[in-house]
Structure formats: C-alpha cells, structure tokens
Amino acid sequence: MTDIPARAAPSSVSGGSALLTLMKLRTFIALIAVLVFFSLAAPNFLSAANLILMAKHVALNAFLAMGMTFVIITGGIDLSVGSIVGLCGMVAGYLVLNGIDLQIGYTIYFNVFEIILITLVVGIAIGAVNGLLITRLNVAPFIATLGVLYVARGFALLSSDGRTFPNLVGKAELGTTGFGFLGAGRLFGLPVSIWILVVVALGAAYLAKYTPLGRHIFAVGGNERAARISGVRVNMVKMFVYMFSGFCAAIVGLIISSELMASHPATGESFELNAIAAAVLGGTSMSGGRGTIGGTIVGAFVIGILSDGLVMMGVSSFWQMVIKGLVIIVAVVVDQAQRRLQQRVSLMQMAKAG
Amino acid sequence: MSAGHDVILKLEDVSKVYAGTVAVKQANFEVRKGAVNVLVGENGAGKSTLMKIIAGVEKPTAGRILLEGEEVSFSSSGDAVNRGIGMVFQELNLFGNMTVAENIFATREITNRFRKIDRKAQEMRAGAFLDRLEAGIRPDMLVEDLRIGQQQLVEIAKAVSLDAKILIMDEPTSALSAAEVEILFKVIADLKARGVAIVYISHRLEELIRIGDYITVLRDGRITGQEEMANVDTQWIVRQMIGSDAKDFAKADGHQPGAEIFRAQEICLPRVTGGLAVDHVSLSLRAGEILGIYGLMGAGRSELFDCIMGRHGHASGRIFIAGKQVKERDTTRRIQRGLALIPEDRQREGLVPILSVASNLTLASLSRFVRLFHISGGAERGAVAQMVRELAIKVADPAQEVSSLSGGNQQKVVIGKALLTGPKVLLMDEPSRGIDVGAKADVFRTMRKLSRDGLGILFATSDLDEVMALSDRIAVMSNGRLTGMFDRAEATEAAIVAASALGHGPSPLAPAHLASAHGEQR
C-alpha cells in the first residue's frame, strides 16, 4: 500500500495539484455552470431585468448565510434566523403603523431611519439572547437557537394575532413615510438591497481577514481550548457571532417588509435551512474553523440561481427541491474528497522535500 | 532467582519499534503464578508498551511470547482475554452512559433464550464482584455518576470478573483513596491465593515494596534489574531506575539570577473527587532563573500551572509578578500581565491545527500588530519571520497549516506564540514531550537563552535527567503538595525521587484526612 504512492509520486503530485485547484474552485465552477446552463435553457434568463431580480432574491439568503457562516466557523449553528426575520419585520411594521403608545395619552411615532435602527437593535438583542444561552448557561447551540426559533416566531404571531400589517406607507404628518425605499428604491441603477449586501459583505470579509476578532472567530472554531489558553475571550467571540447573525436577520426582515409594504408574521419560515445550505455549499465546514464570506456569497448565488432558473424553465417545485438537495449533498461529498486529496498532496510534497 | 512460584508467561527478547523510536528493547520478562509481579520505571521507560504487548493490544516487532510453555501470538486484546489475560488500563475504558453491571459485562452480556439481555442476572453477578471491593457501588448505578476512584474500582471489578489467569494492573491506585487502596490490596491477596498471576505497575515505591513478590525495573525500554522483592530496598529500585550513566545536557552559562519576578502563595485547587489537586503550594522565582518542578503523573504540576494562568475559577491563592499582586482572574488579562503557558498537550491545548503557522504564532499577541482595528500585515509577517528564525522552526512557508509540521516544530510554534506575548514568566509543561532529539536540544537551548535574557522560567517535567540538567533550583511535587525544594548543587536524584513519592500510599494519617474531604464534596 505504501509503495504505490511512492512510485507514482512525481507525476501524481502535479496531477493531484491540478485536481485540487479544480476542487477548490468548485463553487465558482458550479456558479458558472448554472449560469451557462440556464442562459441556454431558459429564455430571457440573461436579461438585465431578470439578473437584477434574481440578485434581489439571492441577497436575502446571502445576508442570512453570512451571519450563519461566522456562527458555523465558531462551531455553532443558528436556527433562529428565520424567526428573527419574521419578528423584525413585524416590529418594523408595528412601528410604522402604530408607533409606541406611552399609555398616558401620547403615542410616539418614529421616522423611518429610527425605525430601521430600532429593528436592527431588536435583531441584535435576540442574537444576544442566543449568545447568552450558549456561553453563560451552556446550552448547546442547536437547542438554544431552536428554542429561540419558536419563541421569536410566537411573538411575531402574537404581535398581530397572526394577521398581516398591511399598507406600510406611513403618514406624512407623522413623518413615517418612505419605508419602501429599502426594498424598492434604487441607487445608480441597482436596488438598494444589493448595495446594502455589498457593504455588509465587504465589511464581513474585512472583519474575517484583517481584524483580531476575525482571527479569533477562526481560532475558537479550530480549537476552543487552545484559543482560551492563548488569551482569546471565547465567550465574547461567541456573543459577537450570534449578535451579528441576528443583525443580518433583522436586515432581511426590514427588506422583505419594505418590498411588500406589509409585514406578515410567517415571513422567513425555513430561511435558516437555506442559509445553512448556502454556507455549506460555499465551503464552510460544519465542524468549525473553516469558511469564507466570499464562498458563502457564491454558494447563495448558486442556490438562488438554481431555484429561479428552474422556475423559469417551468420545472415543478417538487423537482426543484430534489435538485437543490442533491446539489448540497454533492457539494459536501466533493468537499470531503478535496480534504482527503489535500492531505495526500501535502504528504507527498513533504515526502518529496525529504 | 529462586522459583517459589511457577512461571506462567515468559517474554523472550521482545522488542517493539514505533516509527523512529524503540519503545522496548529485547526484554526478557517472566510472570509468576500466584504472585504479584511488579514493574517499575520512569515515565516513558516502556512499561505500558510492554503490558500492551502482553494484553494483545500491541504486537511485538521481534521476540517470542510463551504462555504456559507454548508460543502464542495475540492478534487482538480479545484474543488475549480468551487465553486468560485481563488488563486494568491506566486510562479508564468505561462507558459513562451505561450502568456498572452493563460495563462489567460489556461484549459478553448474559442473555436468555431469546437473546434478550438478562439484566437481573448481570446485576446479581456484578453485585458479587462489587461486594468484594466493598466500595458501596450498586450495579445499577450509572458509571458517570461515580467518583473517579469508584470508576477505577469498576474497571478492576471488570478485570476480575474475567476470571483471568494473568491480571495486569496499570497504575490501579492512581485515583484511589487510602482506604480504597487497602481494599484493593485485600482483593489482590485473595486473587494471589487462587493462583492468579498479577502484573502490577505503579510509581509509588512504598506500595510496590509492600505488595510485590518480584520486581522488574525498566529504563529506556531495557530491563535493568529483576529481583525478588524480599532482597531489595528503595535505594536499589531508584538506582536501577535512574542508572549511573547520566545523559549529556548543555551546561548552564553561570549567569546570576536577578530579583524575584514571580511568587505564588498558598495556591489551592479542589479536586472534583474530593481533596485538593493543588494543596497550598507556595513558591518564588527570580528573573533569569529556571525552576524545574519534578513530579510523577498526577502530582499536580499541570494543575498548578492552570491555577497560575487563571484557568480554574474556583482555585484560591495569590500570585505576584515583580512584587505586585495579580488580581486579574482570567487568562486573557494574566497573559497581558506577563504570564505565558506552554501547555502539556500540544494538540489539544497548544495549537489550532487548521490555522497556518503564522496565525498560530500571533494568536496570543494580535493586539501588538493592530492599528485601530486593522491587523497590520507587515508587522505581523515581520514578527513571524523573526520567531521562525530565532527558534529555528523548519517551515517552507509560514502560511502552511501548522498540522503539517513535525512534533518538534509544532512545539516550537507553541513556544513562539508564548514568546510573542512578551512574557516575564514562562510556564512550560513538559516542553520536551513527544519531540525528537534535535528539537529537544533546540528547546533546551532556547530555555537557556531566555533565562539569560532575564525571563523567569517554571518548567514541569517527569524526566529526572531533564530536571537535573536544566534547573537552577528543583521543586518536587507529590499528591498536590510541594514536598521538596533543592538547589542544584545539593540536589541528588535519590532525594528527588524520594520526595516525589512522599504522601503516596497508605499512611496512618491519610484515611481520616481523605474521608473528611470526601464527606465535604456533596
């Protein structure tokens, strides 16, 4: 068994490296593949209007997936993001329609900027609850965020008795107009939500690569004990990733209610699964320590384009689910194969170096 | 040797080679029926390897094993069990989520006609074994609810229940209280009377002398002495363990240590199983001094370091750096005050394996390279390159994953990480463990250089040669207590070994002391 790689080493090192490069770029290759396939198979697929529409769809999942990526890199999981989307949408809708009744005959109405700020704070606060449950009370991330999933969804439904807050146009005399800008507005020809995605993604990628906090996120996921001994404040790092995930979910909640000009309490159901799928497709390892923001964004685009393209081709939604599932499974299988190949190649290189 | 007992198992010229190291060299070892055959040696001398060969866990590279005069070769531990060889392992091999009875009968469950496990019969039989151990363990208790000492007793009951002809016990008393040790000795006497051959490994010399019939001493994988216990004393054992040929270590440069840089006062750490893992330890360290802490496994060296680094919230005691008390209780701020730890377990606590060499090196000192919130790539690369050069880390590209390095170079990365924090006091826990000779020499040279630069170094080891050669002063720990403090000039190996065995084994005071400690725990 040992003599075969030894003999084959010179030729298969370069062969292995080429294959390895291909495998590392697999998400990009998948992205190009779906783009090429649908531009041939679906008419109008490559039209500017369609591409922008798809990007808007993808952006929603991409926000959640970015937050999820940091959480997964630390070795955790956040199942509550879908519910945070729903609850934050309801908070924004409630504030636009009703303001806050101070119970003394006065009601405070906030302008759109303040409403956005408050909603983001609510998202971050729910993330903080996740973080506190996990760091202080030692609840497993899966269970803690599952619990928060139900609680947040419950509050979203309670906030309106399960009804939709319709027609969030606001009143000019109260200064609550303009909520639609987030979802429908455009800057330099592109939707506002795309611009927000670009800003948040660049920020997150910068954080991951060039700040101590980013380095610490990877260290915690790679080896929590070693990180702790090296002086990393593990609990603070974990608090941050769940709060960031809540922040991303709040953005999504705002954008969706702004697009629809209405808040529905069931918004965001099962969004968490799409976010996990995008992160995993983008190369984030569920066992922690590995992942990139760029990969996750590409992963989100693959999933989004796949489902939109299939819709345009008229494939039934049932088949769409089957295809999406298969793509995710194949992605992880390739990921594992890449790991093994990488180990082999680096061992060979070490052997060659002596 | 007189043959008061028949030989049941004989190893002839057995060797075991692992990649690169020879663990056992041409060992000839006899196990006698109805007697306690004691095996003793320093950590890493090859005792456990030898036992694993007998128990069928490892296969010898060369040599023959004769069981009752017939050559045998075990392909697995199950094979050895079938031939009547049972083993109590040092690390507990129990399933915490199952009951005591289920553990004792794991893989040989008692079943009824329909292949259903007969829980009642298992618990009854298990109860009989446990009664002999007088430990108050019920067979239907979950193993994870038991104290470590009680778990060790379950492990022993499991081995006894095999009805083995040869029973190997690897440090069976390491977690037992004095009273429990007494019971174990009664059980051993009982087994002896039934003709069982017992192989007994322990570091505790008094214990060995008390229950052993034959003694075999191992050093560096070689058997250096084999005697009847009646003919030997402690001095003889120590002499055989250490040998006369001292290894060659780089000598000190003779610089004088400076003022006191670190002091620990009355450090205490309660043990989960009751008692104290670190028992009122006080010590002082001067700048430029290397203080070696010698002790056997479980002596509390690592725990002391953990307390100093603030890894245990419930530890008590005070520490001072350069005369000022360190009030910070968390690791992060203690590192900022100038403490740094090189942990014993490199893989689990020292490194983040999937990060690069560079990221690992700077992990503890990132704040040094940060402007506002941005890690300055140039400054970081500069520091990494400097460390790679200073410590002679063999790495082609610092962006390489740290797990691709050899053990010695990984250890240098851990040391470099600690040094980049700019420590005043360096705690090194077994810094030479599991690394090759060349890297060891590099590590030792680095320690000397650091001490010359004025760092205070506390290093823990269970290697006698190492502690003798490297330390300016030697502290000895045993059972959580500081049992000796020697200047290098006056230290002798015999005195150090004697101090490291203090407080072990049954002593008239121990039972009452331990009993009260157990009472307090719940």
Considering only the beta carbons, identify the residue of A211, A212, A231 that sits closest to B335.
A231
CATH class of the B7-242 domain in this structure: alpha beta
Q: Can you say whether the dihedral through the CA atoms of A340, A345, A347, A348 is positive or negative?
A: positive
Interface touch A229/B396, C-beta < 8 Å: no
**CB pairs A-B closer than 8 Å:** 76
Backbone angles phi, psi at B314, to 5 degrees: -95, 10
Contact state of A219 with B335 under an 8 Å Cβ cutoff: no
Contacts of A289 in chain B (CB under 8 A): 352, 354-355
Average pLDDT (B376-383) is 89
- pLDDT number for residue A81: 95
Residues A45-102 pLDDT 10s: 888 888 888 999 999 999 999 999 999 999 999 999 999 999 999 999 998 888 887 7
Across the interface, do A230 and B336 touch by the CB < 8 Å criterion?
no
Chain B 215-254, residues with CB within 8 Å of chain A CB atoms: none
The beta-carbon neighbor of B355 closest among A218, A228, A231 is: A218
Half-sphere exposure of A348 (CA within 13 A, CB side): 22
**How many residues comprise chain A?**
354
State yes or no: pLDDT of B513 exceeds 70: no
Nearest-CA neighbor of A212 among B362, B341, B350?
Answer: B362
Of A3-7, A244-248, B167-171, B260-264, which range is least confident?
Answer: A3-7
Q: Which residues of A touch B328 (CB under 8 A)?
A: none
For residues B237 and B210, the answer to whether their CB atoms sit within 8 Å is no
Residue B353 sits at the chain A interface (C-beta within 8 Å): yes
pLDDT band at B251 (very low <50, low <70, confident <90, very high): low
B373/A212 Cβ within 8 A: yes
Mutate to test the interface with A, among B342, B354, B404, B413 (most CBs of A within 10 A): B354
Question: Residue range B134-160: average pLDDT?
Answer: 82
Which residue from B311, B341, B370 is facing A212, i.e. has the nearest CB?
B370
A250's CB contacts (< 8 A; 6+ apart) are A84, A85, A88, A119, A120, A122, A123, A124
pLDDT at B522 over 60: no
- Cβ contact A222–B354 (<8 Å): yes
Per-domain boundaries in chain A? 56-313, 315-354
**Inter-chain contact A219–B352, Cβ cutoff 8 Å?**
yes
Q: What is the mean pLDDT of residues B366-378?
A: 86
Among the partner-chain residues B332, B341, B353, the one whose CB lies closest to the CB of A222 is B353
Q: What pLDDT does residue B18 have?
A: 65
Give domain B256-338+423-522's CATH architecture: 3-Layer(aba) Sandwich (3.40)
Contact A223 B404 (CB under 8 A): no
Q: Which CATH number fits domain A56-313: 1.10.1740, 1.10.3470, 2.40.50, 1.10.287?
A: 1.10.3470
**B36 vs B479: CA distance, rounded Å:** 25
The mean pLDDT value for B218-243 works out to 80
Percent of chain B surpassing pLDDT 90: 14
Q: Are A136 and A232 in contact (CB under 8 A)?
A: no
pLDDT, tens digit, 9 for 90 and up, residues B200-216: 988 777 788 888 899 99
Tell me how far apart the alpha carbons of residues A334 and A329 are, in angstroms, rounded to a whole number.
Answer: 9
Asked whether the predicted pLDDT for residue B95 surpasses 80, the reply is: yes
Domain boundaries, chain B: 7-242, 256-338+423-522, 352-422
Nearest CA in chain A to B340: A230
Q: Kindly determine whether residue B331 and residue A229, on different chains, have CB atoms separated by under 8 Å.
A: yes
From chain A, pick out residues whose CB is under 8 angstroms from the CB of B343.
226, 229
In this complex, which of A225, A230, A350 lies closest to B417 when CB atoms are compared? A230
Q: Å from A294 to nearest chain B CA?
A: 18
* Residue B516 in contact with partner chain A when CB distance is under 8 A: no
Cβ–Cβ gap B309/A229 under 8 Å: yes
Task: Name the pLDDT band for B344 (thresholds 50, 70, 90).
Answer: confident
Strands across the sheet containing B21-32: B21-32, B7-18, B62-67, B70-72
User: In Å, how far is B158's CA from the nearest CA of chain A?
Assistant: 33
Q: Regarding predicted confidence, which is higher, B172 or B460? A: B460
pLDDT digits (tens, 9 = 90+) for B423-482: 999 999 988 876 766 777 888 888 988 988 889 999 998 778 788 888 889 999 888 888
Write the residue in A222, A223, A229 that is nearest to B341 by C-beta: A229
Decide if B355 and A227 are in contact by the 8 Å CB cutoff: no
Give the Cα separation of B458 and B473 in Å (integer): 10
With an 8 Å Cβ cutoff, the interface of chain A facing chain B consists of 210-213, 215-216, 218-219, 222-223, 225-233, 289-290, 346, 350, 353
- In this predicted structure, what is the pLDDT of residue B518? 41
Q: Which residues of B touch A350 (CB under 8 A)?
A: 404
Domains B7-242 and B256-338+423-522 agree in fold: yes
Contact call for B404 and A231, based on CB within 8 A: no
**pLDDT for res A9:** 38
* Per-residue three-class SS string for B211-276: HCCEEEEEECCEEEEEEEHHHCCHHHHHHHHHCCCCCCCCCCCCCCCCCEEEEEEEEEEECCCCCE
CA distance B412 to chain A (A): 15
The interface pTM score, or ipTM, of the predicted complex is 0.81
Residues of chain A with pLDDT under 50: 1-13, 354
Q: Which of B493, B497, B495, B450 is nearest to B285 (CA)?
A: B450
Q: Is B332 on the interface with A (CB under 8 A)?
A: yes
